Amino acid sequence: MEWINALNKSILYIEENLLKNISAFDVAKEVNYSPFYFQKGFRLLSGYTIYDYIKSRRLTLAGMDIVIGAEKIPEIAFKYGYESQESFTKAFKRFHGITPAQARTESFRLKTFLPLNLKLTIEGGDRLEYTIEKKPAMKLIGQSRTFTMETAYDGTEEFWWELYNKYTVKPAGWFRGQWNISKFFEWCKDPESCENEIVYFIAAPYSDFPGGEIPRDFEVMEIPEYTYAIFKAVGPPRGASTALIKRIYAEWLPFTEYEIDISFQAGYAPPEDSRSQTYTSEFWIPLKQ
């Protein structure tokens, strides 16, 4: 319940500060949560990133100001955080389907995005099972790419297929990108400046590498011995993993007594037929010693 209370507190904070230059980092800080975990949990449980939520609320209020207010359009644009009327007009049209000038001079129904009120709903009686395991150090080889919270869901899957088609399906292809490591703040000297970014590393065990010079754009990552909470997802990864991670954030993370290491997360997908309904992948959450 603490997690849901934190989400609702964050929504209240956003409402009270819509006209200020607040970021997802500020919102997470207000409720004393890790910026990454809070952003991810917010999206999984509400369906929106914090950035999109703030933008939608601002554009809703901007639409009301356009229709019933006396302020000029450039003044309204500046009021809701846009540096130019042009950027405001583009965002306004994407959201409402019409330009601010049309909304002011013609009769249109504008889009309304109301504040969220999140509630915890318990569904089913099945327990979310996991194991706590100490794993030895790992040496991996692969490629990394930086994504934002908004682009990570589709972008990481496209990245995986790109590497698969380029390195795996070739004759004697050695690369099996069965590991994915999401790195957060250990690579970022100023966490507030990269609060919305994830470095996503797709990798294979270094022992699979046939030797010789490391291919261009590949890198080696060494992860020390760690203790993890390990969850299993059964079924094709895209649907099964998404459902599992949502349950972790809704059912396990709010109530766990373990202290989470927020610097990275790991996923393991064995090199088997991932289309099978019995395919089993894993989600590893590192725990602090």
pLDDT mean over 185-193: 50
User: Which comes out higher in pLDDT, residue 289 or 201?
Assistant: 201
Q: Which pLDDT belongs to residue 249?
A: 76
Please give the order of strands across the beta sheet that includes 197-205: 130-135, 226-234, 280-287, 264-268, 179-183, 197-205, 138-148, 219-223
**What whole-number distance in Å separates Cα of residue 126 and Cα of residue 115?**
32
User: Which comes out higher in pLDDT, residue 250 or 282?
Assistant: 282
**Numbered ranges of CATH 1.10.10.60 in the chain:** 2-105
Range among 71-85, 226-240, 259-273 with highest mean pLDDT value: 71-85
- Pick from 33, 35, 36, 43: nearest CA to 2: 33
**Numbered ranges of CATH 3.20.80.10 in the chain:** 130-287
Residue 190 amino acid letter: D
**Domain at 130-287, CATH class:** alpha beta
pLDDT mean over 63-84: 91
Task: Point out the least confidently predicted range of 43-47, 193-197, 216-220.
Answer: 193-197
Task: Point out the least confidently predicted range of 1-5, 96-100, 141-145.
Answer: 1-5
Task: Quickly state the pLDDT bin for 12 (edges 50, 70, 90).
Answer: very high
Q: How far apart are the first and last CA of the chain?
A: 26
Q: Using the predicted structure, report yes or no on whether residue 195 has a pLDDT greater than 70.
A: no
Q: Using the predicted structure, report yes or no on whether residue 131 has a pLDDT greater than 50.
A: yes
Task: Quickly state the pLDDT bin for 170 (edges 50, 70, 90).
Answer: low
User: Which comes out higher in pLDDT, residue 129 or 125?
Assistant: 129
Tell me the pTM: 0.64
Task: Quickly state the pLDDT bin for 107 (edges 50, 70, 90).
Answer: confident
Residue 247 makes CB contacts below 8 A (sequence gap 6+) with: 128
**Domain at 2-105, CATH class:** mainly alpha
**What whole-number distance in Å separates Cα of residue 46 and Cα of residue 53?**
9
- Do 283 and 230 meet the contact criterion of CB atoms below 8 Å apart? yes
User: Which comes out higher in pLDDT, residue 47 or 11?
Assistant: 11
For residue 255, report the phi and psi dihedrals to the nearest 5 degrees.
-115, -5
